[in-house]
Chains A and B, each alone.
Chain A
Amino acid sequence: MRPTFSIIFFTVISGAGYGLWMLVGLAFALAWPGCLLDAEIGPVDAQSSVCGMPSTLAVAWAAGFLLVSAGLLSSLAHLGQPQRAWRALSQWRSSWLSREGVAALLAYVPATGLFLIWLGQQSPGHLVPALLLENETLVRVTGALLAAASIVTVFCTANIYACLKPIRAWNNRLVVPAYLAFAALSGMLLLWALATLPSRDLVPAAQETVWSVLLPSAVIVLAVISAAIKLTYWKQIDQPSGLRTAHVIGLDGLGNVRSFEQPHTQENYLTHEMGFRIARKHSRKLRLICLLAGFATPAILALLALLVPGPGGVAAWIGLLAGMFGIFLERWLFFAEARHAVMLYYGAHGD
């Protein structure tokens, strides 16, 4: 399949954004509002049980917003009639693409809710009623909804590809776990990098230590899981399908069938869109680069950051760059290596 830049950019960048939003949402739902990690920051005011939002989470929310929005806008560039994109929200009963669009828009609702909470805390007494700001359950539920909507959106994105039977490399049960794992990994790399930025919060050493241990450890775990999924996936798609041209025209009994005359002298939409070959030629090297950059480098840097405290910020940002490069390459390969059954009519071998 032809690797279209707008789709690769969309799935990688919005995946990272949703991964980040998922983590921000989880932080809101599980840890932050009640200041579980730290009692010293204290509540916004004496009556409230809700803490001031740590600036790392606010920055992470904003980064997630930029990435998700940039990704979604990029997906419109792929359309032949982008001005009609709103129509894609209508068929959620049958279409994963439609479900993705609905889930993507729904995710903005709890995201806006968290933004309002942050805004209200910046100027207490205005904009947002204090009653809402002080309601710990409401804050936790909003966070949980953001995490859930982010996961559901990435799940839908992955299923757009996983439901396409004519593309064997996509119609694979590891595609959905891979999309979710890469979204979580890229989100975690982003959060790790953002957490090393100078913060204006008065964060006590104890909490600092939790962050600096928790985030690199999570990066290592997610990198190992992602690499394991991808290696297994590659092993599976490398199995020959055994499909041949004689089969697709329904005459298996003919044995070998060779296309001696194509229906058209020049390329057409099908051969252009589905006849992409060059990636499979260099598959081994590209996969190796993907593994090294996308998974090994971030994991090793995270391990170093755990063992050698100090230049954690440099490790986190190099890890983020390498990881995103690797995931871009992974997504390019996901498209470029996949074969479409229709190419067998054109005499392609294998699948």
Chain B
Amino acid sequence: MTSLPAAATRKLGLVIDLDTCVGCHACAVACKEWNDGGSFGPLPDKDTHGPEPEGVWFNRVHSYEATGMGSGEWGMATAKSEAKSSCTSPIPDSQFLIPGTIHFPRSCLHCETPACVTVCPTGASYKRAEDGIVLVDEDKCIGCQLCAWACPYGAREFSAQRGVMQKCTLCVDRIYNETLDEADRQPACVLACPTRARHFGDLGDAQSDVSKLVAERGGYALMPEFGYQPVNRYLPPRPRRDASRANSHPQPAAEAIDTTQMSPLLRWVDRVLSR
């Protein structure tokens, strides 16, 4: 049934730290590897070793540069008044330090009221009542692709090879898998992250580690104006301490030296070293 279940108390999801993500794509690769062999796989590619490879990935990592904020890679910036939209930015509207680059992993947010589920004509797309995970039943999917159109986050990709829609399963075949060590019962992307930028847990429980992390760091949901109530949260980049120090203590200018006062040897050394 593609009608939504009554609000789940458990809301399993991811918290992604944009401060520590280095854009290495390890999460995306680990995801592809696990799910290619997992119970929701395979994830076949077209033209795998050719010039135009194409296939489904559940996780995509974008890399952005903040531009128009002065010359430095790490610089001071004031939030422009035009940037003040109806949706509050997690970055305070004052002088703040912005990072020049943001690496942004994008995957299913396991929304509480996802349109991708309600638009599905077959019941293939569904949200689990017990933990809120949004899944696709690949035996029922007719491949009409309406769910992908309905998702503003690009979470769903159509497999031309299999003729069905595929998406992040939150590694539902790992997190409850009792044949794995308890420490391994986490989504593959979370375990693979070398900078611990990804966290998995129950965002419906205010006392969970992930909920505390979100509260502490001002975690936010993507595009709340659509009303789909994403469960996943993103943690904004922290202000850069090093950059602020560099800015408040500018590097001293080079000392003035009158080389004519120096001995020929020192003058020669200065000339050589100045090259």
Contacts and interface: CB of A to CB of B under 8 A. Distances in A.
Interface stretch (A32-40, A130-138, A240-248, A319-327): A240-248
Interface residues of A, number: 60
Contacts of A238: none
Interface in B160-176: 160, 162-165
B67 A166 contact: no
Contacts of A346: 62
A253 interface: yes
B1 interface: yes
B40 interface: no
Given A88-B122, A165-B115, A261-B23, A256 B68 contact: yes
Nearest to A78: B144
Nearest to B66: A254
Contacts of B67: 255-258
Contact of A101 (B4, B93, B121, B162): B121
B90 interface: yes
A260 B121 contact: no
Contact of A252 (B4, B84, B122): B84
A96 B146 CA distance: 10
A281 B117 CA distance: 34
B223 A248 contact: yes
Given A80-B143, A84-B140, A257-B66, A340 B56 contact: no
Contacts of A85: 142
B119 A268 contact: no
A162 to B, nearest CB: 12
A270 B154 contact: yes
A325 B120 CA distance: 32
Interface string B20-48: 00010100100000000000000000000
A311 interface: no
Nearest to A262: B62
Interface residues of B, number: 82
A261 B62 contact: yes
Contacts of A249: 18, 62, 64, 102, 104, 222, 234
A84 B145 CA distance: 14
Contact of A80 (B60, B84, B101, B142): B142
A104 to B, nearest CB: 12
Given A91-B123, A266-B52, A340-B149, A252 B64 contact: no
Contacts of B182: none
A273 B148 contact: yes
A82 interface: yes
A93 B122 CA distance: 11
A102 B33 CA distance: 40
Interface in B225-267: 226-227, 234, 236-237
A264 interface: yes
A309 B52 CA distance: 60
Contacts of A116: none
B69 A342 contact: no
Contact of B226 (A93, A165, A264): A165
Given A263-B61, A266-B52, A255 B80 contact: yes
Contacts of A45: none
A341 interface: yes
B98 A254 contact: yes
B62 A259 contact: yes
Main secondary structure of the interface of A (DSSP, over half): mixed
B192 interface: no
A269 B43 CA distance: 13
A153 interface: no
A29 interface: no
B234 A252 contact: no
Contacts of A259: 62-65
Contacts of B146: 95, 97, 160, 164
A80 B144 CA distance: 7
Contacts of A261: 23, 62-63
Interface in B107-160: 115, 117-124, 140-146, 148-154, 157-160
A181 to B, nearest CB: 23
A90 interface: yes
B54 interface: yes
Nearest to A341: B152
Nearest to A90: B123
Interface string A308-348: 00000000000000000000000000000000111001100
Interface in A61-110: 78-82, 84-85, 87-91, 93-98, 101
Given A252-B85, A255-B69, 4 more contacts: A91-B123, A164-B146, A165-B227, A263-B62
8 contacts: A87-B140, A95-B146, A166-B149, A166-B152, A250-B221, A252-B84, A260-B63, A261-B63
**What are the nearest 6 A-B pairs in CB distance?**
A80-B143, A80-B163, A253-B91, A263-B60, A166-B152, A98-B121
Interface of A: 1, 78-82, 84-85, 87-91, 93-98, 101, 160, 163-167, 242, 245-264, 266-270, 272-274, 340-342, 345-346
Interface of B: 1-4, 18, 23, 25, 28, 52-57, 60-69, 77, 79-80, 83-85, 87, 89-93, 96, 98, 101-102, 104, 106, 115, 117-124, 140-146, 148-154, 157-160, 162-165, 220-223, 226-227, 234, 236-237
